A and B are shown apart, each in its own frame.
Chain A
């Protein structure tokens, strides 16, 4: 052993050194540097140069190309080919309401931000997946608490979550997974089982072996994804990796929103995950308004009309849902239709490259007629081309087409070739 055993009584090595390191010395050195650290950060980044005054005297960001590319990456990641997707999803949303959720690095607090964005997510989820079901579990004070059962009504989930905000104690991922698994296990085989965890905590306090819980999820073919708010946690990464989910970390509120909404479109389904099968469905009729009825879901008297189950004539007040009496899946035909676009997505637009033939570039976006980049005097940013109809679009229209419209305006305006897929 080297004779290094340092010592409580004697002065340590540094006491022997000619001691020049007084605080004054330190400050002198600091003053010698030309600028404070915070100043330098601005100086280095030169953020003002990112702005530019346009003809109208408005300030504009100089170049948004990089930014836009970054945002487009999300669409590009989605596979364009026609793939099988899990259309009937059963998703358990696990919301972490442990002590860490009270932190204020997101404003006003992580919890408030999460609650607001979860609301957006739930609406978007049902919008995109009308045939699906969702339930919420809260992690708080070391236990997992079931806020809502798996069901199809967005409003009831949102109210339940809002009613029980309040952060406390530790989060237990294992408890959350176990509870979610209990809810998802009896789901029929055609249903696509998913867990999405919105996690603030960087630690999980579990009563048992979390690896066993993860293995059980894997066994039950539950796809677990995690959206983190702070930093990468090994166990979450493992969970996502083993169960085929994704693990993403939000850097800001906007990013968190994007990451959550990534879970709204149905994920690709694997053959063995959900074998193809025929499902019996009912398309209930709506009772005229004013006729009093007792709805089966809330056991409530309702006057504003309800849907009547075609098989057992029970009343339900919301669609889509499962009949509470005969458990047939009830929905309306528009729901079915809306799920359709996932199967025939609009192909992602390509970014137009300056090198490709520059003959007669359209100066404006085909959809919105806004000026496009790439021509003299045009805006900055990216210019996008539809690979099918070869029309040019701006960045904003690209987002709308792929996120909400699910139809390419260019392709729709052109006489359809006989072999063209619909959509």
Chain B
């Protein structure tokens, strides 16, 4: 349908619209009008994606001068889903408007997902595919091949290259698969074609990293114009993504590997000196003139850009003492040596970049300025030496990353050296972490560069904290509830067991056998009353292991297994995938199953337990972070000093958003239904509970709080019976759906 939204004609591909979608559009539109940023929370299952897409593309139609829509997703799977939605929308718009509504939309991913070379594409890991591709497409390889036909090249790249700038995608919506099909048809490499087409596309969908990680963003997102609208979907963990983008971990193996790399590089330099000394001299001259000109490199030679943010890179010449290849290598040797020595520390050390640099200068004579150029210098050297197997020099690259970051930032970082894992103090496993503490650093250039940035997710509560964490000023902040035709979610707070004793995973209570038994009984009872799938989230792996052990000894596990099969998430990805697969099968064939999982784990973040795969989710405890972690300590301190966020506030915020994320897994659409049990007496407290997202809170009835196991069981039984009754999903009259007619007549829409 199409309707008028404050003067903007919006094309929406479905017959009906939820009221919250309408308000959501309104907010997004206001943000776009004001050319500002937005922070919006809307629960999953309300069609957030299609709402966003339909509003922004309609806006693009009305304002041709507006830039691209850049839609950032977390996974490839999500990317494909967005593209599917967009395809539907596009078909509708074209039907309404004809040719002029045509757009070009495509997903961009790494070579691993886009390569169609028969052997390279089967390489497996992302690094291997990248390296394999480079071996076939680097400029010097290609020029060598021109003389020697035995050298292998990639036909697809050659095909693409031959067409040059004429290699264009016709308008349309392309998923990764479509790109590959198109590439095969034309004999063009889909990866390079996609990179090329970004400039022409109206909608680009890619991973967070492409926008946030300076190493990747410098290569990919550099040329995007200011008028673009950037959307971060499922952005509840965006602060962590930002931090990870600027953090580096070094281990013993890394340093050893770096040393080997250096030796190898030394040999290559020697060889070049003997055979092709001109080349090295040319590089030297180039460096004297200025920084290695990354901007002019052909696409196929680009590796990764500098790990520091573009604004922080000095536009000046590389310092004299590392201009010569052998000097630079000697410099790196000293640096690695120094790091090795620091790594040998017996105690945990934690310091800021300034004192680290000071010590470095005193004991190894390396100054910050030189360190800063580490990465670019290495990059330039590798190009000069015509090294294609970047994967091999991975360790050295990491060390240079580290160097450049330490050299560039004196604020908002911490260097932490831990000689052993605290869980296993007798095994020496030193690790040196350069940890970014300030999540606003990585995202700052995005906010500054683009006119509108929309951050959205199903769980962004408490929403006031995000602007402070990310240090920006949104023009609109809003949290929407879900309009429901029936109570399709049923949250409960369980604070005690059937014996009326409180349950909690608080440190002093968690190993109490009474609490463990009460938790176990809860699951046994629920396993009897709830059909198909149940998902349980625990606060940590160690806690999960401990409690499952105790349940096993108490015979509780056996009782559960009489009703349902039990599957457990482990730290091993393959094992977990297998477990998930079998879990789904058990749900499909009616046997029923329980899945034990961990908050903050892979499953909690990315796997949906919708429909019969999750009729109930139990959140055992409040998933606080492990506060003895040095990095967290450092971050808390930094947050307190810089942003005046209290430790307590941040920890609670973080724990509750994880909990909300976990329980949100069960409900992915309005026609679905599911129960959520928060099993910890601490959820009873206002300060915790009130931080839950609006769409959960609004369903949390007073009578569903402070429950004991038997009361919860009773509620669950009633609820499941009620939900099993047939219902009618289209109810335009009750105001939970709006159709074209309803939107035509002027009506006051309340927001929120």
Contact = CB atoms under 8 A, between A and B. Distances in A.
Contacts of B528: 100, 103, 202
Contact of B244 (A2, A17, A231): A2
A16 interface: yes
A235 B611 CA distance: 12
Contacts of B628: 7, 10-11
B234 interface: no
Given A40-B702, A228-B724, A231-B721, A7 B651 contact: no
B445 to A, nearest CB: 22
B423 interface: yes
A4 B648 contact: no
A17 B588 contact: no
Contacts of B651: 13, 16-17
Interface in A1-52: 2-18, 21, 23, 25-26, 29-30, 33, 37-38, 40-41
Given A205-B591, A234-B612, A251-B725, A23 B502 contact: yes
Nearest to B508: A15
A202 B530 contact: yes
A17 B648 contact: yes
B141 to A, nearest CB: 36
Given A3-B632, A7-B540, A234-B611, A249 B725 contact: yes
Nearest to A170: B562
B627 A13 contact: yes
B539 A203 contact: no
Contacts of A4: 540, 600, 625-626, 629
A23 B506 CA distance: 13
B95 interface: no
Contacts, number: 173
In this complex, the member of B546, B563, B612, B724 whose beta carbon has the largest number of chain A beta carbons within 10 angstroms is B724
A29 B684 contact: yes
Contacts of A209: 589
A251 B722 CA distance: 7
Contact of A16 (B546, B589, B647): B647
A74 to B, nearest CB: 12
A202 B616 CA distance: 14
Which residue among B543, B587, B629 has the maximum number of chain A CB atoms within 10 Å of its CB?
B629
A105 interface: yes
Given A37-B702, A233-B532, A14 B631 contact: no
Given A12-B539, A16-B651, A210-B590, 9 more contacts: A7-B422, A13-B627, A15-B506, A26-B681, A205-B591, A228-B724, A232-B531, A234-B587, A249-B725
B507 A12 contact: yes
B532 A234 contact: yes
Contacts of A286: none
A33 B702 contact: yes
B622 interface: yes
Given A7-B628, A12-B539, A21-B685, A232 B723 contact: yes
A230 B720 contact: yes
A10 B506 CA distance: 12
Given A206-B591, A235-B588, A6 B724 contact: no
Contacts of B705: 37
Given A6-B625, A233-B532, A203 B717 contact: no
Interface residues of B, number: 66
A15 B720 contact: no
Interface string B624-649: 11111101100000000000000110
Contact of A231 (B243, B625, B724): B724
A155 to B, nearest CB: 33
Interface in B528-570: 528-532, 539-543, 546, 563-564
A301 to B, nearest CB: 48
Interface in A215-262: 228, 230-236, 248-251
A40 B703 contact: yes
A169 to B, nearest CB: 10
Interface in B677-722: 681-682, 684-686, 702-703, 705-706, 717, 720-722
A68 to B, nearest CB: 17
Contacts of A23: 502, 681
16 contacts: A4-B600, A4-B625, A5-B541, A6-B539, A6-B542, A11-B507, A15-B508, A103-B528, A202-B531, A206-B589, A206-B591, A210-B589, A232-B612, A232-B720, A233-B532, A251-B722
A202 B592 contact: yes
A232 B600 contact: no
Nearest to A234: B612
B240 interface: yes
B198 interface: no
Nearest to A172: B590
Given A228-B724, A231-B724, A235-B590, A3 B631 contact: yes
Contact of A203 (B590, B626, B629, B720): B590
Given A7-B542, A251-B725, A231 B626 contact: no
A230 B529 contact: yes
B655 interface: yes
- The list of the 4 closest CB pairs from A to B, nearest first, reads A235-B590, A13-B624, A6-B540, A231-B720
A211 interface: yes
A204 interface: yes
A173 interface: yes
Contacts of B540: 4-7
Contacts of B422: 7, 9-10
A156 B520 CA distance: 46
Interface in B220-248: 240, 243-244
Given A3-B631, A6-B625, A7-B540, A29 B592 contact: no
Contacts of A21: 506, 681-682, 685
Given A105-B717, A231-B529, A251-B721, A12 B564 contact: no
A109 to B, nearest CB: 15
Contact of A2 (B600, B652, B702, B725): B600
Nearest to B591: A203
Contact of A230 (B539, B542, B625, B721): B721
Nearest to A77: B726
Interface string B492-533: 000100000010011110000000000000000000111110
A173 B589 CA distance: 10
B531 A233 contact: yes
Contacts of B495: 26
Interface in B450-489: none
Contacts of B627: 10-13, 15-16
Interface in B238-271: 240, 243-244
Nearest to A171: B590
Contacts of B505: 12
B730 to A, nearest CB: 17
A105 B685 CA distance: 32
Contacts of A29: 684-686
B591 A26 contact: no
B686 A10 contact: no
A15 B531 CA distance: 37
A140 to B, nearest CB: 15
A8 B511 CA distance: 10
A5 B531 contact: no
Contacts of B702: 33, 37, 40
Contacts of B622: 14
Interface string B377-400: 000000000000000000000000
Given A16-B647, A211-B589, A230-B531, A6 B543 contact: yes
Contacts of B724: 228, 231-232, 249
Contacts of A14: 506-507, 622, 624, 682
Contacts of A231: 529-531, 615, 717, 720-721, 723-724
Kindly name the residue among A13, A18, A40, A249 whose own CB sees the greatest number of chain B CB atoms within 10 A.
A13
Contacts of B502: 23, 26
A6 B600 CA distance: 10
A3 B590 CA distance: 38
